[in-house]
Amino acid sequence: MKLLIGLLTAALAAPVLNPAPALAPVPCRNPPAPGQPLPAGAPRDPMIARLGLERAWELSTGAGVTVAVVDSGVDGDQPKLRGALAAGYDYLGSQTPPGWQRIAGGLGDCGDNGASHGTAVAALIAARPSDDDRVIGVAPAATIAPVRFVDGIDNAAPEMLANAIRTGADMGQVLNLSFAVPVDRQPIRDAVQYALSRNVVVVAAAGNESSNGTEKFYPAAYPGVLAVAALKQDGTPLAQSNRGDWVGIAAPGEALTAPVSGGGYAGVSGTSFATALVSGTAALVRSRYPAMPAAEVVNRLTSTAVPLGATHDDRVGAGIIDPFAALTALGPPAPGPRPSGSAAAPPAAAGKVRVLPRPDAGGGVGERWGALLGIVGILVLAAVLAYLGRLSWRAARNRRTAPARQAPADDPLDPPDISLA
């Protein structure tokens, strides 16, 4: 309770830098269906305990860090994101060269197929406690800079997508890319390299094509990018999550409770949303160690992940993200403040980090995965998410006019080239 009061006080007291402009959003061609209210009897999101976020928030809440979300836009009226949004940009098609234009914006979710994609991603990263502490983002004091594709990311040419990535890299210290392209496009490759050259932590979704490892998906597979796979509630890989030796880390990605467009909530699944949890953790680390290079932030996240096997695995990379361990690890000397007690510890091997013991026994992410899966709260939440998912699916279905193949709101149809992951 003291922590939540502190978070609320800090959110109210902290000035909002670069507030989003008070402009009417450019209308979407297919606005998403609104979310549903969180039932009064729903328990607190078990993700908070599963990832050890209460303990992590004692060290960092992401204050001072901006996460650029290149996606379908963010609903600025979602209560859990009020005060969290910086000024962003819209990308939309144009009849004049280069075939698209960039304007101030970013507000309003243009997610396709009834899915509120960008808002859910942004909220999983930085949702505020507001008046309901049952659902909170991983980095509840971080700022979100939205970069929106008004006509849908599936209609974005590689040059347009590349320019949006560059825009995001200019605005944030962390760049969330929750989409997947099955082809190595040179403009996108160059844009990612630009972001890395600006010391930005680039986090990208592995994608949901159920690949067996023979294919690569971009920008996740580019060198220097932290590629994120998704896990089921039991800790095993999500079947749709792409695999490959380019996968760097994994995070929960099944039946997550996310604030969405229209002010409500929905159950969401996929690597897009696992990526948001990793981006939020990167924001926690960048806030605690503001001078730490982006490559060392990525090393902390992977070196402190909880492994699911003896070695690096092409389904889950280094293992499950562990925010507290990433914040308290000992490693090679890095600029900026160091965790308490690190000066007296023996040096770690170059390129690796060593984790401080937790002050409370049995508090690790690994133990939580086993313990929490058996409690009644998980079963209750699963029922709630199923209820929300059915309502979202019905709302999305009713909004469609063409007799196309239908999909639930948390499982968008994959366009032929670029897909929201």
Cα–Cα dist 34/15, whole Å = 30
Percent residues over pLDDT 90 in the chain:
62
Kindly report the average pLDDT of the chain as a whole number.
81
* Residues facing 203 on adjacent strands: 176, 226
pLDDT tens string 222-262: 999 999 999 999 999 999 999 999 999 999 999 999 999 98
Among candidate residues 117, 241, 287, 392, the one labeled active-site is 117
What pLDDT shows up at residue 396? 40
pLDDT tens string 27-39: 887 778 888 999 8
Cα–Cα dist 339/317, whole Å = 26
Give per-residue burial for 205-214: e unless 16+ CB within 10 Å, then b: bbbbbebeee
For residue 256, the tally of other CB atoms under 10 A from its CB is 25
Phi, psi at 311, each rounded to 5°: -135, 180
pLDDT tens string 403-421: 333 333 333 323 334 666 7
Q: Is 417 a catalytic residue?
A: no
Closest CA to 151 of 194, 208, 102, 207: 102
Token code pair at residue 62: 């992401």
CB 197 within 8 A of CB 170: no
What pLDDT shows up at residue 24? 64
Confidence of residue 332 (pLDDT cuts 50, 70, 90): low
Phi, psi at 137, each rounded to 5°: -70, 165
Residues 6+ apart with CB under 8 A from 145: 18, 66, 67, 68, 69, 85, 86, 87, 88, 106, 168, 171, 172
CB 122 within 8 A of CB 81: yes
Residues 6+ apart with CB under 8 A from 329: 300, 303, 304, 339, 353, 354, 355, 356
Residue 23: pLDDT above 70? no
What pLDDT shows up at residue 153? 87
The residue-averaged pLDDT of 274-280 equals 98
What pLDDT shows up at residue 342? 30
More confident residue, 135 or 346: 135
CB 84 within 8 A of CB 146: no
Residues 6+ apart with CB under 8 A from 209: 180, 182, 215, 217, 240, 242, 414, 419
pLDDT tens string 122-170: 999 999 998 789 999 999 999 999 999 999 888 899 999 999 999 999 9
CB 210 within 8 A of CB 182: no
Q: Is 312 a catalytic residue?
A: no
Cα–Cα dist 107/203, whole Å = 22
Residue 355: pLDDT above 60? no
Query: 20-336+346-400+407-420 has which fold?
Result: Rossmann fold (3.40.50)
Among candidate residues 72, 272, 279, 392, the one labeled active-site is 272
Q: Judging by DSSP bridges, how do beta strands 179-180 and 174-177 pair with one another?
A: unpaired
CB 89 within 8 A of CB 105: yes
Among candidate residues 45, 60, 71, 109, the one labeled active-site is 71
pLDDT tens string 41-83: 899 999 999 999 999 999 999 999 999 999 999 999 999 999 9
Q: Is 71 a catalytic residue?
A: yes
Cα–Cα dist 98/121, whole Å = 29
The residue-averaged pLDDT of 92-115 equals 89
